[in-house]
């Protein structure tokens, strides 16, 4: 079983709509959680951290459910520029910064 | 401020050939990492170096060697390339005290082994 699992999509979203997707992780020792964005096999770029209390960054909202071991990302008022692959990333405590990546969820925003 | 620089950006190798992927960072980061990314899979850690002078295996180290030449440079070597090593390779560096916000990726090396 993969340590971090994501629905690969694609999620086809009309411009202006809301899209949400989840990621599950298997290691309960996981401590830090993040969403990365990746465009066309370019390098991943940090989108936002995920906190237990939930957090927003503009149109993006992230949630963490430790009991059920899943993370979610919601994108409101989708823009064409939001089309990308969103990577769920987990880091265990004392792991020397080693990251566990999900395979990514593809989002395609259409006009 | 270049960040993390990887060379080459593209490479085609024949099976059995060797090559070294270069990575350099100018941010005075202590930790450096090599990941590979294959279709349908997340990035997987090959090797990492927590600090200058140390290296450790990651999830998929077989077929690779690394050298932390100095604080700036962390190279990845394929001694005898195999088609299974066709992948996109990302180098990254991190300043531990900055947590994940100190994590910076290079732009990647696209390697094809034929």
Contacts of A104 in chain B (CB under 8 A): 42
| Tokens found for residue B42 | 């997340």
CA distances from A75 to A13, A40, A43, A67, A69 (A): 10, 19, 21, 23, 20
Nearest to B42 among A42, A97, A102 (CB): A102
Higher pLDDT, B98 or A97: A97
Distance linking the first and last C-alpha atoms of chain B: 36
pLDDT at residue number A79: 98
Q: What are A2-38's pLDDT values in tens digits?
A: 889 999 999 999 999 999 999 999 987 878 899 999 9
> What DSSP state is assigned to residue B73?
B
pLDDT, block means (10 residues), chain B with 114 residues:
90 97 94 93 93 93 96 97 97 79 88 97
Burial class (CB in 10 A: 0-12, 13-18, 19+), B103: buried
Q: What is the pLDDT of residues A46-95, one digit of tens each?
A: 999 898 888 999 999 999 999 999 999 999 999 999 999 999 999 887 67
pLDDT at B47: 97
pLDDT confidence of residue A31: 81
Percent of chain B clearing pLDDT 90 (strictly above)? 80
CB contact under 8 A, A87 and B42: yes
pLDDT at B99: 65
Is B43 in contact with A43 (Cβ distance < 8 A)?
A: no
Residue of B91, B79, B89 whose CA lies nearest to B112: B89
Among A6, A42, A90, A99, which would you mutate to test the B interface (most chain B Cβ atoms within 10 Å of its Cβ)?
A99
Within a 13 Å sphere around the CA of B37, how many CA atoms are in the beta-carbon half? 24
């Amino acid at each position: 079983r993969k340590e971090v699992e994501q629905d690969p999509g694609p999620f086809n979203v009309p411009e202006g709509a809301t899209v949400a997707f989840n990621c599950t992780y298997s290691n309960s020792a996981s401590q830090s959680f993040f969403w990365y964005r990746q465009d066309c096999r370019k390098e991943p770029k940090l989108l936002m951290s995920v906190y237990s209390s939930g957090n927003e960054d503009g149109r993006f909202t992230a949630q963490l459910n430790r009991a059920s071991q899943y993370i979610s990302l919601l994108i409101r008022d989708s823009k064409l520029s939001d089309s990308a692959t969103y990577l769920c990333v987990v880091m265990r405590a004392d792991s020397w910064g080693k990251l566990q990546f999900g395979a990514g969820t593809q989002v395609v925003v259409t006009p | 401020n270049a960040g993390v620089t990887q060379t080459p950006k593209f490479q085609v190798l024949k099976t059995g050939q060797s090559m070294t992927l270069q990575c350099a960072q100018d941010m005075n980061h202590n930790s450096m990492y090599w990941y590979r990314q294959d279709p349908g899979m997340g990035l997987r850690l090959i090797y990492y170096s927590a600090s200058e002078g140390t290296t450790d295996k990651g999830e998929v180290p077989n077929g690779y060697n690394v050298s932390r030449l100095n604080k700036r440079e962390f190279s990845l070597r394929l001694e005898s390339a195999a088609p299974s090593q066709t992948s996109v390779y990302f180098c990254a560096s991190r300043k531990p005290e900055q947590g994940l916000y100190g994590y910076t990726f290079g732009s990647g090396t696209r390697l094809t082994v034929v």
